[in-house]
Every structure is written in C-alpha cells, then in structure tokens.
Structure 1
Amino acid sequence: MTAQTLSPARSRLNASYRNLTLWTLQGWIAMFFIAAGYAKVSEPMTNLVELMRWPALVTPNLVRGLGVAEIILAVLVLAPLLSWKHGRPLLVVAAGGLLVLETVMLTVQATGLDISLAVTNLVLIAMTATVLWKRAREVRRG
C-alpha cells in the first residue's frame, strides 16, 4: 500500500469540505439546544413531565437552570461567527460542556427507559464529539 500525497489545491478543498461539515453540525447542535433550552425555560412543568419523565424527579429550578445552561452553551457553539480567533476556544469549551450534559442525560434517560430520548442523545453525542474533536485540534494547531 502506498501513501498518496495531495496537491495543495486538493488539500485546501478537503479542508473546506471539513469546515463546511463542522459548521453544519454546529448549526444543528445550536438549533437543537436553543429549542430544548427554551422549552425547559418557558413550558409549564406539567408539559415537560408529559414529554420527558425526568423533570418529575427534580426541582423546577433545576429544570429551568438546565434550560438556561443549554441556551448559553448552544450560543457559544456559534461564537466563532463573531471572532474566529477568540470564538474557537469558546466553542471547544461549549462543546465539552454539552458533551458532559448529553452524557449525563443519556444515563438518566437510559435508566428511566426513555428509549427514544436516549437514541436522540446518542446522535447528539456523536455530533458534538465530532465537533469537539476536530475543532480542538484546530485550536491546538493555532
């Protein structure tokens, strides 16, 4: 098996495709968590308990606080839109925070047998982990 070197033009094209893919994932992540956070902040607790079982097990303030955290982290995922230099580290921190949040919620949903929510969370974990991994490499390279 031989190693193939890419021309500079092909290498730039691949980097452009990778960047477009990451921005698409970041947009989807941000849209999902802004919507989910807004629902947790604005919906009555009875509606949230009907949609998800876990809000019945915690205080309303925890649910509302989680919603605010989701909105803030989702907005920070889009921080590089304002400043590429300063926004990328914020994006990496936000993606890490969302990954921790998603992992905890996956555990809660799996133990509560909310299978559809757990599957959704697995997809979100895959998307967020990809963004975190690729963007963290960019931050380390400078």
Structure 2
Amino acid sequence: MSSTFPAPSSPVTRAPVSPARARTIAGYRNLALWTLQGWAAMFFFAAGYAKLTESMDNLVALMTWPALVSQNLVRGVGIVEIILALGLLMPLFSWKIGRWPLLVSAAGLVAMEAIMLTVHMIGMDIGLALTNAVLLAITIPVLLGRR
C-alpha cells in the first residue's frame, strides 16, 4: 500500500508594494538607522572624551583594563573612539563625501566592540561585557543597513 502525500502547496507570494508604501518603509528604516547611529555616536564620543580627560586612577576605578596597559594606549583608544563617533555622523556634515566614512566608522566600531567584549569577558567584567554586547547590537544593524 502506497502512502500518498498532498501536493506541495505553492509558495506564498507577496503582493507588490506600492511606491508610496515603499517610500514610507524606507523612511522608517532611515529614521531607525539614524537613531541607532546617534546613540552609538553619543556613547563613543562620551567614552572617548572620558578616556582623554579623566585621570588614570578614575579610569581604573571604572574599568580594570586601563590598569593593565599604558596611559598612551588608553588615550589613543579615546581618540579613535571620538574619530569613529564623528564618522558615524559624517553624512550630517557633508553629503558630498558620501557614506564611506560612515561605513568605515561602523566597521571600526564593530571591530573595537568585539575586541573589547572579549577583553571584558576574559577580565570577568560582566557589566562592561554586556555593555559591549548591546553596542554591537546597535552598531551591526547600522553597518548592514547603510552598506
């Protein structure tokens, strides 16, 4: 006795999206990406500023890794964070430049966040590791959505 299976159903087709609806969706997507870019830029600008202006004693009290590296490295990371934060907002300053500074900055921040997530996990800084995980969840959509 042979078993019969129902015929495979046809794939679900989507109705075409009207041009007005497509513009609305694109507008919401753009707004969401700018919101994420703004959050990431504010965080990294503040973090970089703190690394440049705070004393090493204060930074060591807030994070453990500055105690393990030179002061120049900590200050250098602060400069890089500020530059990358400004790069995320570069399209606000000049559309002529294009979005390559935004993409380079987003990629640089994703790399930095992944490295710091690893450093904080090894150092058992759970709060800072979670912070970097959230920052990755903010920055990866910006990188993917703007490419």
- Find the aligned partners of 1:87 and 1:76 in 2 and give their Cα distance: 11
Instruction: Flag structure 2 segments of 5+ consecutive residues without an equivalent.
Output: 1-11
Report how many residues are paired: 136
Greater helix content: 1
Q: Could you say what secondary structure the match of 1:113 adopts?
A: coil
Q: Could you say what secondary structure the match of 2:99 adopts?
A: helix
- 2:31 paired residue among 17, 20, 39: 20
The structure with the largest alpha-carbon Rg is 2
- 1:66 paired residue among 77, 80, 84: 77
**CA RMSD, 1 decimal:** 0.8
| Equivalence map 1:82-93=2 (5 Å) | 82-93=93-104
Q: Could you say what secondary structure the match of 1:84 adopts?
A: coil
- Find the aligned partners of 1:131 and 1:8 in 2 and give their Cα distance: 24
- Find the aligned partners of 2:105 and 2:74 in 1 and give their Cα distance: 19
- Aligned partner of 2:128 in structure 1 is 117
The 8 Å contact of residues 25 and 131 in structure 1, kept in 2 or not, is answered as yes
- Aligned partner of 2:144 in structure 1 is 133
- Find the aligned partners of 1:7 and 1:110 in 2 and give their Cα distance: 47
Percentage of pairs with the same residue: 61
Greater than 4 Å deviation, 4+ residue runs: none
1:135 is matched by which residue type in structure 2? R
Instruction: Flag structure 1 segments of 5+ consecutive residues without an equivalent.
Output: 137-142
Q: CA deviation at 1:59?
A: 0.2
Using structure 1 for the length normalisation, give the TM-score.
0.93
Q: CA deviation at 1:86?
A: 1.7
